[in-house]
Every structure is written in C-alpha cells, then in structure tokens.
Amino acid sequence: MASLSVSKASRLKPKLANISSPFSLRSTAFFCASPSSDSPSAAEPQVAGVQDAAGTSPVPARPLRGKHKTPEKLEDVISRMMANRAWTTRLQNSIRNIVPVFDHDLVYNVLHAAKNSEHALQFFRWVDRAGLFQHNRETHFKIIQILGRASKLNHARCILLDMPKKGVGWDEDLWIVMIESYGEAGIVQESVKLFQKMEELGVERTVKSYNALFKVISRRGRYMMAKRYFNKMVKEGIEPTTHTYNLLIWGFFLSSKVETASRFFEEMKSREVRPDVVTYNTMINGYIRVKKIEEAEKFFVEMKAKNFEPSVITYTTLIKGYNSVGQVDDALRLFGEMKSFGIKPNAVTYSTLLPGLCEAEKMSEAENILKEMEEKYIAPKENSIFVRLITGQCKAGDLDAAANVLKTMIRLSIPTEAGHYGVLIENFCKAGSYERAIQLLDKLVEKGIILRPENTFHMESSAYNVIIEYLCNNGQTGKAEALMRQLMKTGVQDPVALNNLIRGHASEGAPESASELLKIMIRRKVLTEDSAYKSLVDCYLKKREPSDAKMVLDSMIESGHLPDSSLYRSVMESLFEDGRVQTASRVMKTMLDKGVKEHLDLLEKILEALLMRGHVEEALGRIDLMMQSGLAPDFDRLLSVLCEKEKTIAALKLLDFGLERDFNIDFSSYDKVLDALLAAGKTLNAYSVLCKITEKGGATNHSSCEELIKSLNKEGNTKQADILSRMIKGNDSKKGMKKVPIAS
C-alpha cells in the first residue's frame, strides 16, 4: 500500500495539528503535495504594499541574509533520530508526526540511510506492523542486503522466507544475496542449502545463482563440490559463461589443483567460451602462486597475441612472481615496459616491487621508485615496506637516504611509528652521528609516537639502549629518562637501560632520580647491576649523605649483590667522619657477616669510638665477631686509650672480656687499668680485677697491690685487704711469674 487510506489520514490530522516543534512545522509544510489555492505559494514571497484578501497590507518580508540553507532530507532526519534515541513508542510517534505519508521512496531511502543494521531492521518491521506501509520487492531486497552485510543472517533468512506470506514473490537475485552473505560469513553449508532450496521452492536458477555458489565454495577450497555442481549445471542445460570459468579456475588454483585449472581453461576454449583479461590474469596469478614463472610468461605472451591488453593487475602479478623467485631485474624490466605502454602503476604495484628491490639490495633503484611514489602522492598498501626501505638503506650505508624514507612517509601522510625512528636512531649512533640521533629522539618523545595505541612496529632494545647509554655518559640522563618513561608505559622493563639511567643520574649528582628508578626496578623485579648500586652509593658519599649511602648498600645486599671491601670501607669511613659511629658499626657487622676480613685499622677506630661513647656491649659484640673471623684487635692499645681518657668502666669491662676469653693482654695493661681504678677510687673494682688476674696465675707489681691494700683498709674493706695480702704472699712463694694465657 503506497499511500494512506482516508480513515488513517483522518487519524493523522490531529497529530499534525498538534506539532509544537518549529522544525516539525517546516518539515510538514515542505512535504505537502501542493500549496492551497487560498494561500500564497511558498516559492512566491509577498511583495510589500500589496493588500491581502482582508484588505490589510501585510508586513514587509525581512530580506534574507547569507546563503540559503538547503532543507534537510526527511530520510536523513529519521535516520538521525533513530541513531540518537532508543527505539521506543515515543520515537515512533515522533517519526509519525513529521511524516505525512510513508511512500516507497521514503521507506527505501530511510533503510538506505540508516546508521546501522539494527536501526534499519527496527524501522522495517515497525512500518509493516503499524500498517503504515506494505513492503514490496525493492524494500525486501534492501533490508536483506543490509542484514547480510552485517552478518545478521537469521533475520535476513526469516524475512526472505516470509516474503510469500506478505504477498511478495521471490526472484533469483534475492536468493543470490543470501547465498553470498552466508559465504562471506564462512558458512558454506548454509549457502549450499539455500541454493538447493531454490529448486525445492521453484525459484528459477540461472547461471547467475550458480556463479554465486561457485564463488562461495571455491573461496573455501571445496573444489570437488565445485566440479559436481558444474556438471549438474551443464546437465540442466545451463551454459557456463566466461565468469563461471574464471571463478572455477581461481578456486582450483587456490586449492593448488593446477592441472584441474589448466584442464578447465582448455575446456573453456573447446566450448567456445572466449577467455577475457580476467581469465588470463587468473591463469598468470595461479601459476605464480606455485612459482611456475615460465608457465605464467606463456599465458602473458598468449594474452598479448590474442590482442588482450594487459592491465595494471597483469603487470603487478608478474612483478610479484619475478620477485618471489629472485628475478628482480626482470621485475624492473616489466615495470619499465608497463609505463612505456602508458599503464600507470598503482599502490599495489609499488608495494610489490619495492620489497624485491630491498631483498636484492638494489637500494638506489628503490630510492628512485620511492621518489616517483612521492611525486605522484601514491602511498603503498602495506606500510611495512618502509621498515624494509629504512633498514636496507642503513645496511647500504646511505643514512641520508634512510632519513628521507621517514620524510617521505610524513609527506604521504603515512603514520610514522616508533620502530621507524628506532632503526634510524640505532644506525646513526653506530655511525657516530649522535646529534642526528638525538634530533630524531626529540621528535619521537615530543610527539608521543611511542605511546600511540595503533603502533605495530615498536622500538627495539638495540635502538633505545644505544642512545640511552650515550646520553647517560654525556650528561643528558634526563632526556634519556624521558624516553624510557614512555617505553615503560608500553610495558618495556629493560634492565640494561634502567641500570644505565641509574649510573647516569649518579654521575650527574642526582641521586634522588637514581633512587626513584632503583625503587621501580626492585618493585617490578627488574634485574639490577652491582655497578648501578656502587655508582649511587658513591654519589651519596660525594654529597656527604652517608646515611642514604648506607641504605643503598643495604638494598644492594638484600638484592643478592656482594659489595667489594672498598665500598664497605667508603661507607664506614663516611659514617664515622659524620659522627654516626653506631651506624658505621652496623655496616662493620654486615661486612664481617659477609666474610670480608679487611680494614682492621678502621674497625679498631670504630671500636674505640664505641667504647669511648659508652656503647660497651655493642663494642664487645663486634670484638667477638672479629675474633670469630680471625681478626684480633689491639687490646693493649684500646685499654691504654680508655685509661688515659679515664673511661674506667669501659676499660674494666674490656679487661674482663679479655680475661674470660684468655685473650693475649700485656701485664702493663693490667697495671694501667688497676691504676686508673684506684685513681678513680674504685677499689672494689680494682680488687675484683686483681683477684681474677691472680686466679689466672698472673701477677702484677707489688706497688700497685700494696696501694690497693691500703685503700681497702682505709675504706673499711679489711676482709678483702687480708685476702689480697695472703694471695700476694702465696704468689711470692712460687717460682717465676706467669703471663695470662693467649687465646688461640
């Protein structure tokens, strides 16, 4: 039904009268069939001064300014409404309000202009169910075509099979659309079933539907099925066309059935079906696929002998064949021949020729071809060719030509990728042209090319490592880190680059930046190097920040690295000089635990400082650890210093420690400790020490003992004085004097 009935039109009048949108009013007036005889025509504006029917002069029309805007087509309005709003009753009413009549042209054009297949399907069903329009063969064909392209095959199939119920008959073209749609989706069996169903339902099948089937099954390698249906077609009296043979031969070559393809070509001629350019192109391409260049050349010669003009496809196919077998000179010859005949190479031709030239290292010829493409503004179909061009020119040592390839990409509006820059940067660095490499790096980082999500060719580690190392060694670590930060956002965690950055920052006196990178490496479990840690420790020491240096040293050990003895010494000396004796002592303990048995002079200084500051227990623990490692501190010197500085308690504890472990201590040291204790009035402590010496079989001078006895008696410690007196007399009766044993 092409127009509305009287009753339906009367129902639409109130809706049209209630339109409040100015746009809707304009649209309604625009699509009316003809203006009323009582009103002026829209195309004839009223002239000022002319009276209307009521005898009043109308208001003069305001002159239009600017360019007159062409009214928007109704189908475009409806399509935009469907695209921007959900399909609801409200949207359906809005569409009704702006459409006076749903005729064939409007419905067809709305389907054609729909933004996606779902919108088209909803509109198609709605106008039918609402009784606004009765679909015909053309609108059915359109929706089936739309749904087929969108792979909504079940919907399309249902609509096709329901056509007779709607009073619309089938024809062959409708079924061909469905056969091809299933084939595009890779569902070959359904295409075959639909083809068979045509016969069941009485739909006439001509060579067109057979060709559609051959196209589908040949593409999927069903060459045996193709042969069976070809025989069936011939038995039915349907004559194959040139297109039929072209499809079958193409399919046989796809399945590597070269002999079958050749036989069908001969059969084609025996049936007096004349081959065309496509046939010869198919034969040439087929033989090139199996690398039979001589056979392909024969068909090329035969093609020209039969006065068929080779096309750009013919030449491009042969050029591809020559390249595939390494006959690049023949490919160049053919390229020149095609241009001499006025056949213009296209993007595919250039894309086919250039890789062969790169493979054969004919880079000057490749450069000329690229210039020709640039002049004609022809971009190749495969952007990967530029990688090969840049790499080939670099390999040939022509870095200027390699750089020009990148410029050509920019001129041809081809997106450059990080990998293109990477190849150039790497080769510039290898050639010592670091300034040119840095210029490229600046562009790469500033434009954020590395971070583009569409990148397919990424920067290799061999490229960014060489430039990062150079920058770090030449005071430009910040620039190197900017590159690395972008690489890390793409998932790169290169240990070589990161360790270079740490060393670079450290050498430039920026330990904070180096420490931040080190933390990232540890957190992400990236392999660290000894030299990176050492450089960072040295940097902190130069900046007189020994505590931070010690933290880096600890991190180094936790990460499984073994610092050398000089690094331990540097950290301990710096801490000691900064007055951080206990921190230096902890480094000392770590060093001894790791089996480093050096720097005894520094260790004794740390021990002395600990004892002088009253950290006696800590000092004794370190001495014990030293002795276990085979390092013996100079007890006599330590005791002498403590006595001189009147650190009697520390001296006493150190002496007790030595006596308990039978360390080698000189008698003069005992006397010094006793004298210091007596001078400090610590007679009982002196008595205790003397008793221990005596029990060990050692002895000291009588003057010290007699002085101690007097002090004990004077303080009322007569019992201790008496014991000491008897001990001395007992020792005097023994022959000789004993020295305290030496611990092994």
Query: Given this model, what pLDDT does residue 718 score?
Result: 73
Query: Do the domain assignments include residue 730?
Result: yes
Region 680-693 average pLDDT? 76
CA distance 600 to 634: 10
Instruction: Kindly give the residue spans of alpha helices, DSSP state H, lying in 360-433.
Output: 363-376, 385-395, 399-411, 418-430
Do residues 652 and 689 lie in contact, with contact meaning Cβ atoms separated by under 8 Å?
yes
**pLDDT band for position 741 (cuts 50, 70, 90):** very low
pLDDT, position 727? 67
3-state SS record for 196-221: HHHHHCCCCCCHHHHHHHHHHHHHCC
Query: What would the mean pLDDT of 447-451 be, rounded to a whole number?
Result: 94
- Reported as a pLDDT band with limits 50, 70 and 90, residue 388 is very high
Q: Report percent pLDDT > 70 for the chain.
A: 86
Q: Is the pLDDT of residue 7 over 70?
A: no
Domain annotation covers residue 611: no
Residues in the chain: 744
Helix, strand or coil for residue 37? Answer: coil
CA distance 89 to 102: 17
Whole-angstrom distance, CA of residue 599 vs CA of residue 571: 12
CA distances from 24 to 29, 32, 73, 110, 522 (A): 9, 12, 13, 17, 67
Tokens of 508: 């430039």
pLDDT at 505 over 90: yes
Is 701 part of a structural domain of the chain?
yes
Please, which pLDDT band fits residue 684 given cuts at 50, 70 and 90?
A: confident
Tell me how far apart the alpha carbons of residues 36 and 220 are, in angstroms, rounded to a whole number: 63
Domain membership flag for residue 441: no
pLDDT of residue 40: 36
| Mean pLDDT of the region 110-133 | 93
The pLDDT value recorded for residue 555 is 96
Which ranges of 595-740 does DSSP label H, i.e. alpha helix? 600-612, 616-628, 635-644, 648-660, 667-679, 683-695, 702-714, 718-733
Residue 740: give the domain boundaries: 662-744
Q: CA torsion angle for 720, 723, 724, 726 (degrees, to 10)?
A: 160
- Higher-confidence residue of 68 and 60: namely 68
Domain contains 263: no
d(Cα 681, Cα 678) in Å, to the nearest integer?
A: 5
Establish if 72 belongs to a structural domain.
no
Its pTM stands at 0.71
Phi, psi of 698 (to 5 degrees): -95, 175
pLDDT for 228 equals 94
For residues 688 and 461, what is the distance between their CA atoms, to the nearest angstrom? Answer: 73
The mean pLDDT value for 239-250 works out to: 94
Rounded to whole angstroms, what are the CA distances from 637 to 127, 189, 411, 669, 689? 110, 101, 82, 9, 18
User: How many C-beta atoms lie closer than 10 Å to residue 245's C-beta?
Assistant: 25
Residue 389 to residue 403: CA distance in whole angstroms: 10
Query: What string of DSSP letters covers 249-300?
Result: HHHHHHTT-HHHHHHHHHHHHHTT----HHHHHHHHHHHHHTT-HHHHHHHH
Q: Which of 139-143, 261-265, 266-270, 710-714 has the lowest mean pLDDT?
A: 710-714
pLDDT at 72: 81
Q: Which residue has the tokens 């049209």?
A: 16
- Between CA 365 and CA 134 the distance in angstroms is 64
Query: 3-state SS of 598-620?
Result: CCHHHHHHHHHHHHHCCCHHHHH
pLDDT for the residue numbered 700: 54
Query: For residue 450, which amino acid is it?
Result: I
470 occurs within a structural domain: no
Confidence of residue 229 (pLDDT cuts 50, 70, 90): very high
Residue 54 scores a pLDDT above 50: no
Segment 373-377 shows an average pLDDT of 93
- Considering only 279-288, 497-506, 679-688, which range has the smallest mean pLDDT? 679-688
pLDDT digits (tens, 9 = 90+) for 527-561: 999 999 999 999 999 999 999 999 999 999 999 99
Query: What phi, psi does 285 have (nearest 5°)?
Result: -65, -40
pLDDT recorded at residue 26: 35
Residue 161 reports pLDDT greater than 60: yes
Q: What SS3 class is residue 708?
A: helix
Name 328's bridge partners. none
> What's the CA angle centered on 230, arms 229 and 231, to 5 degrees?
90
Q: How high is the pLDDT of residue 713?
A: 74
Q: Is residue 674 one of the residues assigned to a domain? A: yes
pLDDT tens digits for 467-478? 999 999 999 999
- Give the whole-angstrom CA distance, residue 522 versus residue 526: 6
Domain count, the chain: 1
pLDDT for res 482: 96
The β-bridge partners of 698 are 738
Among 386-395, 419-428, 562-571, 670-679, the least confident range: 670-679
Residue 623 has pLDDT above 60, yes or no: yes
* The pLDDT of residue 322 is above 80: yes
Percent of the chain at pLDDT > 90 equals 73
Instruction: Work out the mean pLDDT of the chain and round it to a whole number.
Output: 86
Give the C-alpha separation, 327 to 319, whole Å.
Answer: 9
